[in-house]
C-alpha cells in the first residue's frame, strides 16, 4: 500500500512538473494578437487578477469592476469601432497574487488565447512583471492596480495606469492636516518594506521636508510582519503630532492595533492603503475612528463624466445593485481602465495596437472616475482625496473641500481618553 | 529612554509566551514523528478563524473559545495523521515534506473559500486596555502592559506547563517520549506506534489552535497568516534545541528579545534577517540548539 502511494505521489509530482513546463515562453514574439475583427465583431480583453493569495480581496474588487463594465457596455452593443459596434469578451485568470504567475498568464493570454488587448492585474509587483510581457508582445495594457513609479520609468510604450503615482499618495493628507493645524510639526512614519510602500515613503519624506515638517521617527518593518509594537514603542518616545503609514491594509490595521496597546498617541493618523477600504472599519471597529485614508475615488466625489455611468454616485448605485456592496476605488479604477480603452478605440476607429496606443497617449476625457489623462510615462494625472472614519462606523470623504461630505475632525483624542 | 527600554522588555516577555505556544506543537511533532509539519501555520490560522467565527456569530469571548479551537484542531490533527500522513510516515523526509506542504495549500485555500481573503480582527471591548506600570512625571508616558497580551502570556505558560506534566508523568506522555526516542524499541515494549503518532500530531495541532486563538485577538489576520509563524516556529525550535519543552521556551525568549531589541534599533528593517543570522550562528556553534541534547 505504501509503495503504491509513493508511486502515485511521484507520478503526481512528475505530472505537475510536466504541466508546469507545458506553457513555455514562446521562443519569438508572435506579433499577431490583433486578428482583424470578424463579422460578428468582438473584442477580447485578457486579464490576470489576484483571486487568491495575499491580495485576493483587491483582486475581487477589480474583477467585479471589469465584469460589470463589460456587461453594461454590451447591453448598449459594445464599443464603437469605426462604423460597427463590437461586443466585449473578457478572459480572466487568477494570478494568485504572484508576480511571476501574472507574467506567465499574460503570456498565455497573448500567445494561446490571442486576446486583442490587455487589462492589468492588482498590485505593483504583478503589474510590473505583467507589463513587461505586454511590452514584449507589443499589446497595450491599461492597468488599475499598480501605482509604483517603477512600472512607468522603464520606457515602455504599452502600459498605462489609472492609480495616482505612489510618491504622491500621502501628500493631500499632509496638506489637509497642515491647513487645519499649522503647529503640527512632528511626524512619525511607519514604512512597510515593499516596493510600492517604499515609493510612498520616499515621496512623502521629500514632501515633508519641502513643507518644513520634522520627520522625528521613520522606520521600516518587514513585509508581512506580525509585530510592530517595538516600532510603536520607539515612535512613542518621540511624541509625534502626526503618524503616517506607508502601508497596505493588514499592516495598517496592525499599526493601529498595536499603537493602541502601547499607548502611542497622535493628533492625526493617515495611511497610504488601508483606511480607504470598508474592511478597515469592520476589522478595527471603534478604533478606526479619526483615522485618515487616501483614495483616488469615492462615490461622494463630484465628477461629471462622458461615459456610461456619468457620475460617481450613479456608478456606485449600479455597482451596489449588482454586487450588494458599495464599490471601493479598486473597482472604479478597473472600470476606468476599460473606459480609457473605449475612448481610445472609438477615437482611433480601430483596435490596432499602434492606433490605440496613439489615442491612449492623447486621451483627455472627463469620466465618473475624474479626468482620464496620462502623463508621458503613462500614469494618470490625478490628485488624491482623503477619507476619515467617524464615530458612526462609516468613512466620509473630507478632502478635497469642494466635495467634502463632512468636516475633518481634529485632533484625534488620546487612546485612553476615548 | 528608560521607558523605551522598559516597554521593550515588557513587549519581549509577552511576545515570548505567545511564540512559545506557536513553536511547542511544531517541536513535539518534529521531535516525535520526525516530520517537519509545513501545515503547522495553517493549523494556527484555522485556530484564529475558529475564534473569529465564534466571536462574530455568537459573541463568545475570544479567550473562552480556546478550548473549542483546541478540540477542533485536535480532531483535525488526529484524522490527518491517522488517515493521510500515516501512509508515508516511514518514507523519506521529502515525501512528508511534500505532503504537509500540499496540506498547507489545501487548508489555506479552503479557508479562502469559506472566510474569503478579507483581513479580519477580533476586537473584544477590553482590547487595547492595559495596566500602566510606571509613569514618567515629565512626559506622563508609562510602560503599558496590555491585558490581552498579558492573558495570552499566562495561558501560553499554563499550556506549556500542562504539556510538560503530561509528557513527564503520564503513561501516554511517556509512551510518546519513548516512541520519539526509538519507535522500534517502544513497539517492543508494547507501545502502539500508529495511535501514538496520531495522538502526538493531534496534540501539536491543538496547541497550534490555541496559539491561533490567542493571535487572533492581538493581530489582524487573513488565511495567509500562517507562513510567518511556521518560520518563527522553525527558528525557535532550532534555537532552543529539538524536542525539549524548556528548550522551546528558551528559544522563544531569545527570539522575542532579539526581535524586539532589533525593532527599536536602526536595524529594524532587517528584523527577519537578524533572526536568520542568529539561526545560522547557532547551527554553526552548537548544532543541537542551545538547550538541546541528543534526546529524541
Q: Do B271 and A222 make contact, defined as CB atoms within 8 angstroms?
A: yes
**Rg of chain A taking only CA atoms, in angstroms:** 23
Do residue A116 and residue A71 come from a single domain?
yes
Lowest-confidence pick of A244-248, A289-293, A386-390, B111-115: B111-115
Do residue A73 and residue A201 come from a single domain?
no
Nearest to B117 among A57, A220, A222 (CB): A57
For residues A270 and A189, is the Cβ–Cβ distance under 8 A? no
- Beta strand A141-143 with A159-161 is parallel
B195 and A CB contact within 8 Å? no
Lowest-confidence pick of A10-24, A110-124, A236-250: A10-24
B104 and A CB contact within 8 Å? no
Q: Choose from B91, B112, B121 for mutation: most chain A CBs within 10 A.
A: B121
A230, pLDDT greater than 90: no
Residues of A in contact with B233 (CB under 8 A): none
Q: pLDDT tens for residues A53-105?
A: 778 888 999 999 999 999 999 999 999 999 899 999 999 999 988 899 999 99
Q: Which of A228, A203, A221 is nearest to A149 (CA)?
A: A203
B272 and A CB contact within 8 Å? yes
A246, pLDDT greater than 70: yes
Chain B residue nearest residue A59, CA to CA? B117
For chain B, the structural domain boundaries read 2-233
Share of chain A above pLDDT 70, in %: 91
Residue A35 pLDDT level (bands cut at 50, 70, 90): low
Q: Please tell me the total count of domains within chain A.
A: 2
In this prediction, residue B173 carries a pLDDT of 93
Q: Do A257 and B120 make contact, defined as CB atoms within 8 angstroms?
A: no
Residues of B in contact with A1 (CB under 8 A): 87
HEC per residue, chain B:
CHHHHHHHHHHHHHHHHHHHHHHHHHHHHHHHHCCCCCCHHHHHHHHHHHHHHHHHHHCCCHHHHHHHHHHHHHHHHHHHHHHCHHHHCCCCHHHHHHHHHHHHHHHHHHHHHHHCCCCECCCCCCCCCEEEEEECCCCCCEEEEEHHHHHHHHHHHHHHHHHHHHHHHCHHHHHHHHHHHCHHHHHHCCCCHHHHHHHHHHHHHHHHHHHHHHHHHHCCECCCCHHHHHHHHHHHHHHHCCCCHHHHHHHHHHHHHHHHHHHHCCCHHHHHHHHHHHHHHHHHHCCCCCCCCCCC
In this prediction, residue A29 carries a pLDDT of 47
A26, pLDDT greater than 50: no
> Which regions in chain B score pLDDT beneath 70?
1, 137-140, 292-296
**A219 within some domain:** yes
Do residue A406 and residue A340 come from a single domain?
no
Do residue A123 and residue A196 come from a single domain?
no
In this prediction, residue B1 carries a pLDDT of 67
A174, pLDDT greater than 90: yes
Alpha carbon distance, N-terminus to C-terminus of chain B: 44
Residue A243 pLDDT level (bands cut at 50, 70, 90): very high
A390, pLDDT greater than 50: yes
Do residue A158 and residue A252 come from a single domain?
no
Nearest to A233 among B7, B112, B222 (CB): B7
Q: Do B222 and A224 make contact, defined as CB atoms within 8 angstroms?
A: no
Q: pLDDT tens for residues A140-173?
A: 999 999 999 999 999 999 999 999 999 999 999 9
Nearest to A250 among B119, B142, B218 (CB): B119
Do residue A99 and residue A139 come from a single domain?
yes
The 8 Å CB, 24+ separation contacts for B172-176 are B172/B196, B172/B199, B176/B28, B176/B32, B176/B200
Do residue A283 and residue A355 come from a single domain?
no
Q: Choose from A198, A202, A233 for mutation: most chain B CBs within 10 A.
A: A233
**A5 within some domain:** no
Q: Do B269 and A237 make contact, defined as CB atoms within 8 angstroms?
A: no
Do residue A101 and residue A131 come from a single domain?
yes
pTM of the model: 0.78
Q: pLDDT tens for residues A302-348?
A: 899 999 999 999 999 999 999 999 999 999 999 999 999 999 999 99
**A11 within some domain:** no
Q: Do B220 and A283 make contact, defined as CB atoms within 8 angstroms?
A: yes
In this prediction, residue A278 carries a pLDDT of 85
Section A251-263 average pLDDT = 92
Q: Do A283 and B120 make contact, defined as CB atoms within 8 angstroms?
A: yes
Nearest to A57 among B95, B118, B149 (CB): B118
B7 and A CB contact within 8 Å? yes
B56 and A CB contact within 8 Å? no
Q: Which of B65, B128, B213 is nearest to A285 (CA)?
A: B128
Section A383-393 average pLDDT = 93
Do residue A320 and residue A400 come from a single domain?
no
Interhelix angle B193-218/B40-58, rounded to 10 degrees, is 50
Q: Do B263 and A1 make contact, defined as CB atoms within 8 angstroms?
A: no
Do residue A221 and residue A340 come from a single domain?
no
Q: Do B268 and A221 make contact, defined as CB atoms within 8 angstroms?
A: yes
Chain A residue nearest residue B90, CA to CA? A2
Please tell me the distance from the alpha carbon of residue A374 to that of residue A149, in angstroms, as a whole number. Answer: 13
Three-state SS at A380: strand
In this prediction, residue A4 carries a pLDDT of 54
Q: What residues have CB less than 8 Å from A355, skipping those under 6 apart?
A: A348, A349
Which domain CATH number covers A273?
A: 3.40.50.2300
Q: Do B259 and A230 make contact, defined as CB atoms within 8 angstroms?
A: yes
* E strand intervals along A253-368: 268-271, 291-295, 364-367
Q: Do A55 and B117 make contact, defined as CB atoms within 8 angstroms?
A: yes
Q: What residues have CB less than 8 Å from A203, skipping those under 6 apart?
A: A165, A166, A167, A168, A169, A170, A171
Q: Do A6 and B95 make contact, defined as CB atoms within 8 angstroms?
A: yes
**A407 within some domain:** yes
Do residue A321 and residue A282 come from a single domain?
no
**A88 within some domain:** yes
Please tell me the distance from the alpha carbon of residue A137 to that of residue A285, in angstroms, as a whole number. Answer: 47
| Domain hosting residue A321, numbered range | 42-164+300-373
Do residue A128 and residue A243 come from a single domain?
no
Amino acid at each position: 500500500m505504501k509503495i503504491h502511494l509513493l508511486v502515485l505521489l511521484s507520478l503526481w509530482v512528475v505530472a505537475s512538473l510536466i504541466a508546469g513546463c507545458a506553457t513555455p515562453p514562446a521562443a519569438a514574439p508572435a506579433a499577431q494578437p490583433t486578428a482583424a475583427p470578424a463579422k460578428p465583431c468582438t473584442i477580447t480583453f485578457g486579464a490576470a487578477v489576484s483571486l487568491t493569495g495575499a491580495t485576493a480581496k483587491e483582486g475581487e474588487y477589480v474583477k467585479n469592476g471589469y465584469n460589470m463594465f463589460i456587461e453594461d457596455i454590451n447591453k448598449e452593443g459594445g464599443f464603437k469601432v469605426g462604423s460597427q459596434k463590437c461586443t466585449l469578451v473578457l478572459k480572466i485568470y487568477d494570478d494568485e497574487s504572484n508576480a511571476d504567475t501574472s507574467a506567465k498568464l499574460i503570456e498565455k493570454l497573448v500567445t494561446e488565447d490571442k486576446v486583442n488587448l490587455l487589462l492589468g492585474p492588482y498590485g505593483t509587483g504583478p503589474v510590473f512583471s505583467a507589463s513587461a510581457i505586454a511590452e514584449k508582445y507589443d499589446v497595450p495594457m491599461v492597468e488599475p492596480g499598480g501605482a509604483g513609479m517603477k512600472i512607468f520609468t522603464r520606457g515602455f510604450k504599452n502600459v498605462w495606469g489609472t492609480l495616482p503615482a505612489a510618491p504622491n499618495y500621502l501628500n493631500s493628507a499632509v496638506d489637509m492636516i497642515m491647513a487645519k493645524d499649522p503647529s503640527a510639526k512632528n511626524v512619525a512614519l511607519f514604512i512597510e518594506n515593499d516596493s510600492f510602500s517604499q515609493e510612498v515613503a520616499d515621496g512623502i519624506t521629500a514632501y515633508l521636508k519641502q513643507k518644513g515638517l520634522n520627520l522625528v521617527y521613520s522606520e521600516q518593518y518587514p513585509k508581512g510582519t506580525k509585530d510592530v509594537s517595538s516600532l510603536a514603542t520607539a515612535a512613542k518616545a518621540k511624541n509625534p503630532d502626526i503618524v503616517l503609514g506607508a502601508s497596505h491594509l493588514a499592516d495598517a490595521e496592525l499599526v493601529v492595533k498595536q499603537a493602541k496597546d502601547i499607548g502611542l498617541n497622535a493628533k492625526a493618523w493617515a495611511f497610504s492603503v488601508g483606511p480607504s477600504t470598508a474592511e478597515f472599519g469592520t476589522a478595527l471597529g471603534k478604533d478606526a475612528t479619526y483615522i485618515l485614508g487616501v483614495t483616488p475615488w469615492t462615490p461622494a466625489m463630484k465628477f461629471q463624466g462622458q461615459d456610461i455611468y456619468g457620475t460617481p454616485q450613479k456608478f456606485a448605485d449600479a455597482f451596489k445593485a449588482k454586487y450588494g456592496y458599495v464599490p471601493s476605488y479598486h473597482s472604479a479604477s478597473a472600470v476606468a481602465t476599460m473606459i480609457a480603452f473605449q475612448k481610445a478605440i472609438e477615437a482611433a476607429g480601430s483596435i490596432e495596437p499602434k492606433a490605440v496606443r496613439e489615442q491612449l497617449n492623447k486621451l483627455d476625457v472627463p469620466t465618473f472616475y475624474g479626468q482620464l489623462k496620462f502623463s508621458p510615462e503613462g500614469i494618470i494625472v490625478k490628485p488624491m482625496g482623503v477619507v476619515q472614519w467617524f464615530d458612526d462606523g462609516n468613512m466620509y470623504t473630507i478632502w478635497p473641500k469642494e466635495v467634502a461630505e463632512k468636516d475633518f475632525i481634529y485632533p484625534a483624542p488620546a487612546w485612553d481618553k476615548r | 529612554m528608560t521607558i523605551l527600554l522598559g516597554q521593550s522588555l515588557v513587549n519581549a516577555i509577552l511576545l515570548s509566551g505567545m511564540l512559545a505556544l506557536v513553536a511547542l506543537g511544531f517541536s513535539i511533532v518534529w521531535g516525535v514523528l520526525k516530520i517537519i509539519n509545513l501545515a503547522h501555520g495553517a493549523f494556527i490560522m484555522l485556530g484564529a478563524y475558529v475564534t473569529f467565527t465564534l466571536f462574530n456569530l455568537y459573541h463568545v469571548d475570544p479567550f473562552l473559545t480556546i478550548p473549542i479551537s483546541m478540540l477542533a484542531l485536535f480532531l483535525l490533527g488526529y484524522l490527518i495523521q491517522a488517515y493521510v500522513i500515516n501512509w508515508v510516515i516511514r518514507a523519506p523526509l521529502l515525501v512528508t515534506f511534500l505532503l504537509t506542504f500540499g496540506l498547507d495549500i489545501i487548508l489555506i485555500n479552503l479557508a479562502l473559500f469559506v472566510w474569503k481573503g478579507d483581513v479580519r480582527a477580533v476586537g473584544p471591548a477590553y482590547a487595547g486596555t492595559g495596566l500602566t506600570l510606571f509613569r514618567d512625571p515629565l512626559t506622563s508616558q508609562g510602560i503599558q502592559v496590555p491585558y490581552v497580551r498579558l492573558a495570552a502570556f499566562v495561558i501560553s505558560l499554563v499550556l506549556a506547563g500542562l504539556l510538560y506534566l503530561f509528557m513527564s508523568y503520564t503513561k501516554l506522555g511517556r509512551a510518546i517520549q519513548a516512541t520519539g526516542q526509538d519507535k522500534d524499541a517502544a513497539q517492543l515494549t508494547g507501545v502502539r506506534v500508529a495511535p501514538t503518532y496520531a495522538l502526538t500530531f493531534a496534540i501539536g495541532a491543538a496547541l497550534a489552535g490555541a496559539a491561533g486563538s490567542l493571535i487572533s485577538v492581538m493581530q489582524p489576520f487573513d488565511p495567509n497568516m500562517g507562513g510567518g509563524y511556521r518560520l518563527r516556529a522553525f527558528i525557535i525550535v532550532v534555537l532552543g534545541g529539538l524536542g525539549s519543552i524548556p528548550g522551546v521556551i528558551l528559544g522563544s525568549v531569545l527570539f522575542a528579545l532579539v526581535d524586539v531589541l532589533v525593532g527599536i534599533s536602526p536595524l529594524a528593517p532587517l528584523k527577519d534577517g537578524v533572526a536568520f543570522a542568529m539561526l545560522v550562528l547557532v547551527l554553526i556553534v552548537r548544532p543541537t540548539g542551545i538547550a538541546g541534547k541528543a534526546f529524541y
